[in-house]
Structure 1
Amino acid sequence: MLSRRAFLRSIALATAAAPVGVLAVTLEADAQTWVPPANRSPVPLRNAPPPPRWEARPPVRPGLVWVPGYWTWSARSLRYVWVEGSWQRSRPGMRYVGAQWVLRGSEWVFIPGRWVRW
């Protein structure tokens, strides 16, 4: 169960993000997970994202997959923002491909993390 503080924080963040459709929040019993919406269009940028932050990988949890953190672009603050890694429920016959930034021509495009079939 989420602590009261974590719950209120997630509600505040969801309320702030909802009007611009940047992030969708999924609350689970023991984890807070950020999931980019599937219909989000890529945001091309000229400046490269910072290198990934080092995150301590938590111990394995049965039935869950660790999704590493990534940089996303905040249109609100006009800067890159780090999204911390989180646990996601595993999906039979699928594997998770992490979010990434790809250089296309002279612009950086964000490709959200996603589940793909084996």
Structure 2
Amino acid sequence: MKTLAVALSIGAASLLSVGALTVPTAAQAQAVITIQGPPPAPRYERVPPPRRGYVWSPGHYEWRGGRHVWVRGVYVRARPGYAYRAPEWRENNGRWEYNRGRWDRDGDGVPNRHDRRPNNPNRY
């Protein structure tokens, strides 16, 4: 019985150490959330009056805990020289992908270090 307890504790410790190595950090790329069904229709939301120096980020559904959860719209502080891309769901080969809100410098929809290149291969 004692050897079983020791074996289980060693196994649990090794699993925890592997999990500690794979914790995402802020420097890593965003994970793409992909699901099979589409999100529900967006809710109607009254947009408050414009605020100087801010951009409206509309309400949207996020995937949390295995279900869609509505996130209310908010004002986000504007960044001069950047365009704000609102969060969105896109269908891709019968699956739905969630793209978080992001800032883009050149308007091609790809926020990256190559934004000043005129012939960006990632344009759409």
Give the whole-Å Cα distance in 1 for the aligned partners of 2:28 and 2:82. 17
Deviations 1:49-106 (A, max 9, x none): 01111110100111111111111101x2x11001110011111011111111111112
Could you tell me which runs of 5 or more consecutive residues in structure 2 were left unpaired when the two chains were aligned.
1-22, 107-124
1:106 to 65, 86, 94: 94
Q: Residue in 1 aligned with 2:30?
A: 40
Equivalent residues, number: 83
1:58 aligns with 2:48: yes
Return the structure number with greater strand share. Answer: 1
Identity of aligned residues (%): 38
Could you tell me which runs of 5 or more consecutive residues in structure 1 were left unpaired when the two chains were aligned.
1-19, 22-36
**CA offset at residue 40 of structure 1?**
2.6
Larger gyration radius, structure 1 or structure 2: 2
**CA offset at residue 38 of structure 1?**
7.2
Give the whole-Å Cα distance in 2 for the aligned partners of 1:83 and 1:62. 23
Runs of 4+ with >4 A deviation: none
TM-score (norm 1): 0.63
Give the whole-Å Cα distance in 1 for the aligned partners of 2:28 and 2:80. 20
Give the whole-Å Cα distance in 2 for the aligned partners of 1:63 and 1:80. 31
Residues 112, 95 of structure 1: CA spacing in aligned structure 2 closer, same or farther, 3 A cutoff?
same
